[in-house]
Amino acid sequence: MKRFGFSKFMLIFGLMFIYLPMLILVIYSFNASKLVTVWGGWSVKWYVGLLDNTQLMGSVVRSLEIACYTAIAAVALGTLAAFVLTRVTRFKGRTLFGGLVTAPLVMPEVITGLSLLLLFVAMAQLIGWPQERGIVTIWIAHTTFCAAYVAVVVSARLRELDLSIEEAAMDLGAKPFKVFFLITIPMIAPSLAAGGMMSFALSLDDLVLASFVSGPGSTTLPMEVFSAVRLGVKPEINAVASLILLAVSLVTFLVWYFGRKAEANRKRAIQEAMDQTANESWQQPQPQRVAATA
């Protein structure tokens, strides 16, 4: 019991360690003083000032656009990869495939970024595409590493799934393609949403990959923030950072909330269906037995 007390203490300590700095950042973004370390009363002037910063606003729009495309592509690619890893047990190069799917999770970003840039440069020389690096090249880079996260989330769900439902559909003559879209996809929908949101957030957040594969005129929000942060702490950056924090935590919370609700609904529906069939099979034999004895 003593160790339980210790681990509980560590949990509280760890959570405080994680959240206090963010809380302080948000509080200081409302600081009226130009000096970031002196408290000069509450004010929202830094937030209002952001709207006039057209360069920053441009990068926000660009980042959001890339994050949207990334989320869609990463979910599609990651789900396929997860499906292959959990359902197709034997094929040539499976070990290599597994490695390729999970390695982007841990690969240092400077290596991935550099190698992708060299690929794009070589491709531009060989086939003339991409002429200019920008949104598309950043999208490719982000999709590649976000797909790995999606694959991990989705494969965890796919493993939990009751295979018998898919098998039943196949036995009734549904083609694998149809089974996948009508049975599997609805059942893993919460984890698809989670994977999509995760990709969106990761893409919105990435600095290193984007710095390597972006071209002139395609500065993303993290690149903009980074070049400002390098010069020190600034109240405007506090405001941008707080807004990003707010947006991400809101999205995270919504995904979690709806995911949980969907899960609860699904479980209740299954339970109800089971109760119903149990009741029916309990009642059904009665008339038959009567007929047999008569």
Partner 1 sequence: MRTFNQQFLRLVPSGRKFVIGIPFIWLFLFFMLPFFLVMKISFSEAALSIPPYSEIYTYAEQKFQLLLNIGNYTMLGEDELYLSAYLGSLKVAALSTMMCLVIGFPMAYAITKASKEAQNVLLLLIMMPTWTAILIRVYAWMGILSNNGLLNAFLMWTGLTDHPIEILNTNTAVYIGVVYAYLPFMVLPLYANLVKHDGSLLEAAQDLGSSNFNNFWKITVPLAKNGIIAGCMLVFIPVVGEFVIPELLGGPETLMIGRVLWQEFFNNRDWPVASALAVVMLLILIVPILLFNRSQAKEMEGRG
Least gap, CB of 98 to partner 1 (angstroms): 5
Question: CA of 228: how far to CAs of 26, 31, 73, 175, 206, in Å?
Answer: 18, 19, 31, 55, 16
Best CA proximity match to 104, nearest among 63, 68, 147, 73 = 147
Q: How far apart are CA 133 and CA 215, in angstroms?
A: 5
Torsion of CA 162, 163, 166, 167, to 10 degrees: -130
Residues 119-158 that bind partner 1 (CB under 8 A): 119, 121-122, 125, 140-141, 144, 147, 152, 155
Q: Which of 32, 187, 245, 262 binds partner 1 (CB under 8 A)?
A: 245
Site string for partner 1, 76-115 (x = CB under 8 A): -xx-xx-xxxx-x--x-x-x-xxxxxxxxxxxxxxxx-xx
Closest CB to partner 1 among residues 65, 109: 109
Q: How far apart are CA 203 and CA 143, in angstroms?
A: 8
Residues 158-187 that bind partner 1 (CB under 8 A): 159, 176-177
For tokens 């790995």, the residue is: 148
Least gap, CB of 294 to partner 1 (angstroms): 52
Q: Are 191 and 110 in contact (CB under 8 A)?
A: no
Closest CB to partner 1 among residues 1, 291: 1
Q: Which of 72, 229, 262, 266 binds partner 1 (CB under 8 A)?
A: 229
66 binds partner 1 (CB under 8 A): no
70 binds partner 1 (CB under 8 A): no
* The token pair that represents 98 in the structure block: 């597994």
Least gap, CB of 51 to partner 1 (angstroms): 20
- # residues contacting partner 1 (CB under 8 A): 96
Q: Which of 204, 210, 220, 239 binds partner 1 (CB under 8 A)?
A: 204
40 binds partner 1 (CB under 8 A): no
203 binds partner 1 (CB under 8 A): no
Residues 247-286 that bind partner 1 (CB under 8 A): 248-249, 251-253, 256, 260
Question: Which region, judged by CB under 8 A, interacts with partner 1, from 64-72, 75-83, 165-173, 276-284?
Answer: 75-83
Closest CB to partner 1 among residues 83, 165: 83
